[in-house]
RNA sequence: GCCUAGGUGGUGGAAUGGUAGACACUCGGGACUUAAAAUCCCGUGCCGGCAACGGCGUGCGGGUUCAAGUCCCGCCCUAGGUACCA
């Protein structure tokens, strides 16, 4: 009876200390080996500590890193903290504790937990978005955007809760039968326009779309981003307003249906609504607009199945046939898309059809459905016909197909100066400010008009000015010089926003009021002949800002004179693999790409796209199959698992649960399987805990493996290598289980084979691999050992298994030599007992032979 | 509504159009043990049969094919995302 003990709690801390002391996984700048940059989405260090979802993706990237290192790459695999964020601020409001302190505590807890799992990062490259030496460069990037004219200020509607006196995030607003309410306190909330910084991401829409072609991302993610950008080609059509000088521009993707436009709809927020409404309808229209304010875009879209709207009394003239059509307002038209107004063609648009039916507006079919549309007994459409086809009811265009008609209509309108080709995007500009404390302050000063004129142009945006009414004054924005960065957050007494929704920074009067040197840009608390009076911007940046470019800072984290050194950038370039959740498929990845493209334009980086290859890890659900959450009480804590089973077992099990990309439930019972596997591995090498090696191991490597085992070894090297490369860890582990089961059965086996096994499993279970490798007499870390090579010859076997089928059903098999003829295979099938039984009384119609695989006899 | 992903034993899952259920968990039986833990062996999709074996079986209904979990068409269900985008 073997007496061995796999004491993970003793060996795991030992090797964690070893890796740390020896800088085993340090990335070496300018090393001759090929570089490989693996990036994880960095976490928000919450007060709750790690949950089991974090280590899933992180274990995968850690394993991949160890694999790539063994393959001879100079691997960069860093970690950092996306540490600005709402929960820390809320905690500060509640307790008065400075977010900086909370953040430091949370970060050290997270770091400790990551280390416990055996995750080895190059900690010398750690970044923290709240570190002034980091956000100095976040602010610097903003000044570049500002100077390039890619930033502007605008009043934007945001959720505001008068009761709480604060702006709310979408997720803090609940939909209730009584209307939208705040999550905290259940108070009524409304959309209120507040002064915001906005970034012109739409200027980059086409490049963001084109760039997707070149990257190795999941197709579904590319599609998601492309849909989000939503490029659509169409026309802008200008409608005159009857008995008025005003005109209304609409955007349409179907100019071919212009003859079928029977009414116009303005978004309730459209600037012309008030002007065009006839006096007797003003009250009703105002009431409708008020009601719209309480609805989010999503609500206007989804929950409001029943169309609402009002005719505002005015009429427009269809430019193509001079027909007079009524102007309506309805909340199904959004002010943020296109021109905020549409021409409604109920016969050929579902929403317009629904609306026209409800309000009894004409439905004129101008595209011939050629009998394919759904109609009632009277021959009227029962739903919109949205396909293309030949035109009708369209004067000279009758008979023309949709595509040609689109061109013809636009040409016609262009001649009359009533329209033109236009491209529209669903993508909206990026609302880039928050009325909060715990974020990067904007490096912006507001000055009055006459002072602005005296300020050196280097502090102003090129080709534009940014002005806004602040307090009662119209002020102009200038940016701080690089030397004044970072602009740090002031200490304040209360983290609560002011009652009018302004940022808590608006209380910090000492910090707020400055004197700005017109030439040098230096800010002082005392005025002088060279200074102008200014007010600092009180908004802060959103959490996205810091996470938009962190992957660049890992390359050169300490640089105080540049965001990144040019030579280092040229060496490390951009991440070769980016692993992170699909929940960031659009926003984070799109914003980061936008900033990267701007940085590319100004020469900071040399590649146009930041993330060459992307992989989404799935979510781990609770044992009940529901999303893990404190309130459900189904949260699994990694620390408990490590205490009971060890980090290697946790890592292995996380990867064994299922495909990395899948959403899968945690099952604590199942962990027994991988725990047994590791104990079995331990016993293969050690027969008691006193450093006694298993005598089955031939230390001289003179024992030869039988050919079947030898083939299995090489098949395993082959499969495991492929699976690791594709992050298919679950199948790699089952292959290793098969191999270990075989090796355990042998009477004796060469040490070399055991070591190869250890190298194969080291990426996933590094502690036990190091320990056993060490006990086999090796002095170097197993991570220095080269990845085993497959001997292709050994994969081949002399015999192959031929499957026998009758009418496609398995009825037996046999082993045949590799070099056999089709006839031999078919003959041996016909001789097989079970096949004969199936052939009884039937004739063979056909015999299919797939070389080295299958014989299928078709009988009747 | 729309977009995306998915639906395979009691459970997690595996399967270049070629033996469905690898590898595990669970459960049952046995060995070792005073006993337990650990370990080892056998069985474990469903129905029938002592067994050999036969039938059925990858959400549902069709289709293509010698052969379909895999490809095509229609439907149902689940999860995630969402902006009635004109």
Contact criterion met (CB below 8 Å) for A38 and A75 = yes
Return all residues near A570 (Cβ < 8 A) that are at least 6 apart: A606
Please report, for residues A488, A797, A828, A836, the alpha-carbon distance to residue A823 in angstroms, rounded to integers and kept in the order given.
Answer: 83, 21, 8, 17
pLDDT score, position A299: 67
Query: Average of pLDDT values for A796-814?
Result: 88
Q: Are A120 and A62 in contact (CB under 8 A)?
A: yes
Integer distance in angstroms from CA A363 to C1' B56? 56
User: A462-479 pLDDT, tens per residue?
Assistant: 999 999 998 889 999 999
pLDDT of residue A315: 94
**What's the pLDDT tens digit per position in A654-689?**
999 999 988 888 888 889 999 999 999 999 999 876
Positive or negative torsion for Cα A525, A529, A530, A534: positive
A854 closest-nt by C1' vs CA? B18
Residue predicted with more confidence, A298 or A539: A539
Residue whose C-alpha is closest to residue A82's, from A39, A41, A124, A25? A41
Instruction: Examine domains A232-424 and A648-794 and report if their fold is the same.
Output: no
Tell me the CA–C1' distance in angstroms for A855 and B49: 29
Lowest-pLDDT range of A253-257, A334-338, A484-488: A334-338
Distance A686 CA to B47 C1' (A): 48
Q: Which residue has the higher pLDDT, A342 or A426?
A: A342
Confidence at residue A2, expressed as pLDDT on a 0 to 100 scale: 39
What nucleotide is nearest A354 when CA is compared to C1'? Answer: B84
Residue A191 CA and nucleotide B50 C1' are separated, in Å, by: 77
Q: State the distance between the two ends of chain A, measured CA to CA, in whole angstroms.
A: 60
Q: Is the pLDDT of residue A600 over 80?
A: yes
Residue A301 has pLDDT above 70, yes or no: no
* Vertex A593: Cα angle to A588 and A598 (nearest 5): 130
The domain over range A798-859 is classified in CATH as 2.60.40.10: no
Would the pLDDT of A599 be above 70?
yes
Which residue carries 């693999």 as its tokens? A577
Name the nucleotide with the smallest C1'–CA separation from A659: B13
**Residues in chain A, total:** 860
C1' (B16) to CA (A849) span, angstroms: 18
Spatial separation of the C-alpha atoms in residues A401 and A787, rounded to whole Å: 62
Write down the domain spans for chain A.
141-200+430-543, 232-424, 648-794, 798-859
What is the DSSP track for A823-855?
HHHHHHHHH-HHHHHHHTT--EEEEEEETTTEE
CA–C1' nearest nucleotide, residue A342 = B86
Cβ-contact A304, A332 below 8 angstroms = yes
What is the pLDDT confidence band of residue A4, given thresholds at 50, 70 and 90? low
What are phi and psi for residue A563, nearest 5 degrees? -60, -40
Q: CA A855 → C1' B66, Å?
A: 10
Residue reference for tokens 């061995």: A4
Between CA A820 and C1' B65 the distance (Å) reads 26
pLDDT at A1: 31
Spacing of A807 CA from B63 C1' in Å: 19
pLDDT of residue A148: 94
Asked if the model's pLDDT at residue A540 lies above 60, the reply is: yes
Closest protein CA to C1' of nucleotide B80, residue: A583
CA A736, C1' B39: Å apart? 20
pLDDT of residue A351: 82
pLDDT tens digits along A9-56: 999 999 999 999 999 999 999 999 999 999 999 998 988 888 887 889
User: What confidence tier does A366 reach under pLDDT thresholds 50, 70, 90?
Assistant: very high
Q: Which nucleotide comes closest to A343 if you measure CA to C1'?
A: B86
Report which of residues A367 and A166 the model is more confident about.
A367
Q: Which residue is nearest to nucleotide B15 (CA to C1')?
A: A731
Q: Please, what CATH class does the domain formed by A232-424 belong to?
A: alpha beta
- Asked if the model's pLDDT at residue A742 lies above 90, the reply is yes
Supply the mean pLDDT for chain A. Answer: 90
Q: Which nucleotide is nearest to A627 (CA to C1')?
A: B79
In eight-state DSSP terms, residue A131 is S
> Would you say A594 and A197 are in contact if contact means Cβ atoms under 8 Å apart?
no
Closest-lying nucleotide for A834 based on CA to C1': B53
Res A690 pLDDT > 80: no
Q: Regarding predicted confidence, which is higher, A699 or A227?
A: A699
> Does residue A520 surpass a pLDDT of 50?
yes
Closest nucleotide to the alpha carbon of A673, via C1': B24
- At the fourth CATH level, the homologous superfamily of domain A648-794 is Isoleucyl-tRNA Synthetase; Domain 1 (1.10.730.10)
Per-residue pLDDT at A138: 96
Residue nearest to nucleotide B65 (CA to C1'): A808
Those nucleotides of strand B lying less than 7 Å from any protein Cβ are 1, 3-5, 11-16, 18-20, 22-26, 32, 38-41, 53-55, 66-68, 79-86
Task: Report residue A3's pLDDT band, with 50, 70 and 90 as the boundaries.
Answer: very low
CA distance A79 to A123: 7
pLDDT at residue A104 is higher than 50 = yes
Q: Nearest-CA residue to the C1' of B84? A: A301
Q: Which among A103, A644, A844, A665 is positioned nearest to A654, based on CA atoms?
A: A665
CA of A671 to C1' of B28 (A): 21
> Please, is A782 exposed, middle or buried when counting C-beta atoms within 10 Å of its C-beta (0-12, 13-18, 19+)?
buried
């Amino acid at each position: 009876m073997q007496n061995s003990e796999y004491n993970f709690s003793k060996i795991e801390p030992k090797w964690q200390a070893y890796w740390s002391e020896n800088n085993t996984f340090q990335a070496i700048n300018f090393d001759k080996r090929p570089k490989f940059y693996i990036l994880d989405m960095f976490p928000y260090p919450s007060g709750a500590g790690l949950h089991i979802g974090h280590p899933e993706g992180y274990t995968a990237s850690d394993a991949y890193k160890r694999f790539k290192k063994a393959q001879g790459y100079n691997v960069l695999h860093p970690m950092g903290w996306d540490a600005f964020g709402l929960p820390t601020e809320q905690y500060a409001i509640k307790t008065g504790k400075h977010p900086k302190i909370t953040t430091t505590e949370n970060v050290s807890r997270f770091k400790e937990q990551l280390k416990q799992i055996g995750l080895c990062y190059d900690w010398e490259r750690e970044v923290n978005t709240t570190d002034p030496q980091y956000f100095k460069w976040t602010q610097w990037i903003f000044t570049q955007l500002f100077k390039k004219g890619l930033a502007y200020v605008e009043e934007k509607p945001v959720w505001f809760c008068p009761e709480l006196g604060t702006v709310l995030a979408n997720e803090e607003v609940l939909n209730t039968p009584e209307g939208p309410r705040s999550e905290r306190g259940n108070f009524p909330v409304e959309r209120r326009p507040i002064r915001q910084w906005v970034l012109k991401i739409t200027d980059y829409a086409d490049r963001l779309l084109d760039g997707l072609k070149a990257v190795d991302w999941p197709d579904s993610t590319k599609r998601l981003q492309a849909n989000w950008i939503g490029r659509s080609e169409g026309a802008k059509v200008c409608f005159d307003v009857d008995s008025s000088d005003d005109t209304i521009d609409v955007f349409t993707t179907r100019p071919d249906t212009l003859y079928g436009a029977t009414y116009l709809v303005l978004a309730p927020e459209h600037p012309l609504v008030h002007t065009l409404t006839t006096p007797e309808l003003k009250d009703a229209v105002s009431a409708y607009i008020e009601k719209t304010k309480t609805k989010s875009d999503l609500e206007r879209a989804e929950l409001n199945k029943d169309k609402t709207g009002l005719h505002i009394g005015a009429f427009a003239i269809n430019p193509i046939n001079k027909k007079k059509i009524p102007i309506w307002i309805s909340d199904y038209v959004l002010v943020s898309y296109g021109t905020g107004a549409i021409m409604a063609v109920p016969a050929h648009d579902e929403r317009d059809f629904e609306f026209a039916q409800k309000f009894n507006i004409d439905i004129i079919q101008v595209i011939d459905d050629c009998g394919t549309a759904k109609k009632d007994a009277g021959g009227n459409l029962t739903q919109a016909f949205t396909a293309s086809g030949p035109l009708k009811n369209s004067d000279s265009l009758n008979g023309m197909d949709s595509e040609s008609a689109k061109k013809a209509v636009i040409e016609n309108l262009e001649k009359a100066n009533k329209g033109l080709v236009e491209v529209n995007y669903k993508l909206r500009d990026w609302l880039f400010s928050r009325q909060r404390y715990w974020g990067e302050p904007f490096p912006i000063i507001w000055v009055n008009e006459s002072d602005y004129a005296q300020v050196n142009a280097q502090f102003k945006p090129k080709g534009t000015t940014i002005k806004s009414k602040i307090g009662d004054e119209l002020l102009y924005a200038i940016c701080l010089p690089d030397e004044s960065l970072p602009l740090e957050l002031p200490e304040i007494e209360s983290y609560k926003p002011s009652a009018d929704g302004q940022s808590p920074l608006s209380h910090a009067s000492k910090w707020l009021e400055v004197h700005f040197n017109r030439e040098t840009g230096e800010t002082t608390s005392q005025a002088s002949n060279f200074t102008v009076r200014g007010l600092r911007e009180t908004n802060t940046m959103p959490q996205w800002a810091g996470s938009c470019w962190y992957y660049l800072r890992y390359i050169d984290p300490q640089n105080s004179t540049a965001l990144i050194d040019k030579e280092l950038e040229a060496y490390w370039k951009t991440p070769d693999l980016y692993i992170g959740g699909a929940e960031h498929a659009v926003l984070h990845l799109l914003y980061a790409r936008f900033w990267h493209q701007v940085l590319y334009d100004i020469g900071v980086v040399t590649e146009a796209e930041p993330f060459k290859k992307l992989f989404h890890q799935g979510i781990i659900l609770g044992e009940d199959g529901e999303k893990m959450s404190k309130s459900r009480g189904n949260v699994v804590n990694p620390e408990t698992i490590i205490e009971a089973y060890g980090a290697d077992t946790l890592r292995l099990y996380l990867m064994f649960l299922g495909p990395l990309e899948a959403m899968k439930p945690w099952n604590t019972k199942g962990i027994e399987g991988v725990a047994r596997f590791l104990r079995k591995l331990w016993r293969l090498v050690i027969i008691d805990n006193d450093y006694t090696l298993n005598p089955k191991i031939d230390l001289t490597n003179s024992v030869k493996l039988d050919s079947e085992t030898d083939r299995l070894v090489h098949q395993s090297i082959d499969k495991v290598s492929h699976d690791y490369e594709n992050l298919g860890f679950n199948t790699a582990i089952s292959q290793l289980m098969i191999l270990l089961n075989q090796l355990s059965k042998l009477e004796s086996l060469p040490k070399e084979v055991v070591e190869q096994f250890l190298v194969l499993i080291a990426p996933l279970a590094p502690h036990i691999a190091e320990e056993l490798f060490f006990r086999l007499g090796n002095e170097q870390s197993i991570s220095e050992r080269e990845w085993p090579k497959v001997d292709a010859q050994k994969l081949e076997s002399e015999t192959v298994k031929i499957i026998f089928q009758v009418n496609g059903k398995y009825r037996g098999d046999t082993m045949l030599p590799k070099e056999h003829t089709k006839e031999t295979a078919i003959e041996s099938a016909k001789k097989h007992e079970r096949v004969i039984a199936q052939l009884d009384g039937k004739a063979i119609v056909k015999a299919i032979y797939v070389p080295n695989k299958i014989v299928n006899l078709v009988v009747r």
